């Protein structure tokens, strides 16, 4: 198995919602595993993590100040009647890039990028920072290029 050499670039993404909340998104490459060897190098299987954090305006925070924190078991996600879709007004994608040296001896640039596509909010719970709880759907794009 090859090795992840180092993170070379990354960017925190932002999502502006119609309720004036701004969500920060961070994607990180956690692990890379090699698959089948091909003429263009090995298939690379990318494990990644995504973290989001909301920053809502004070009137929204005031609406959830007395609400409980979201349950650690994520059971609230299945309670669909408490969620409402919130329009995404604009966004900047988040990405992470690293250099990976494969067992074939070549170094590859591995990039993962996430683009938010749908946002939902519940006012029945609050997060640890006192915001309403948000849930995002995103698309994931993974690119592998010959490194330098």
Q: What is the pLDDT of residues 46-101, one digit of tens each?
A: 999 999 999 999 999 999 999 999 998 989 999 999 999 999 999 999 999 999 99
Torsion of CA 53, 83, 62, 91, to 10 degrees: 40
**Can you tell me the distance from the alpha carbon of 146 to that of 69, in angstroms, rounded to the nearest whole number?**
45
- For residue 25, the model assigns a pLDDT of 97
- Average pLDDT, whole number, for the chain? 93
3 state SS of 64: helix
H/E stretch holding 24: strand 22-38
When divided into structural domains, the chain yields a total of 1
Residue 109 scores a pLDDT above 80: yes
Angle 64-68-74 from CA coordinates, rounded to 5°: 110
- For residue 3, the model assigns a pLDDT of 65
3 state SS of 93: coil
**Can you tell me the distance from the alpha carbon of 27 to that of 14, in angstroms, rounded to the nearest whole number?**
12
Q: What percent of the chain has pLDDT over 90?
A: 89
Domain of 129 in residue numbering reads as: 3-146
Q: What is the pTM of this model?
A: 0.86
Q: What percent of the chain has pLDDT over 70?
A: 95
3 state SS of 103: coil
């Amino acid at each position: 198995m090859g090795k992840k050499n180092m993170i070379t670039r990354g960017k925190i993404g932002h999502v502006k919602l119609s309720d004036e909340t701004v969500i920060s998104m961070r994607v990180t490459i956690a692990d890379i595993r090699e698959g089948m060897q091909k003429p263009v190098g090995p298939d690379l299987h990318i494990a990644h993590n995504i973290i989001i954090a909301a920053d809502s305006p004070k009137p929204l925070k005031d609406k959830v100040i007395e609400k409980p924190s979201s349950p650690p078991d994520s059971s609230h996600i299945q309670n669909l009647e408490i969620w409402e879709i919130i329009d995404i007004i604009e966004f900047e994608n988040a990405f992470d890039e690293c250099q990976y040296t494969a067992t074939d001896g070549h170094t590859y640039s591995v990039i993962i990028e996430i683009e938010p596509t749908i946002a939902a909010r519940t006012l029945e719970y609050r997060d640890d920072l006192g915001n309403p709880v948000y849930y995002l759907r995103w698309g994931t794009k993974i690119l592998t290029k010959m490194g330098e």
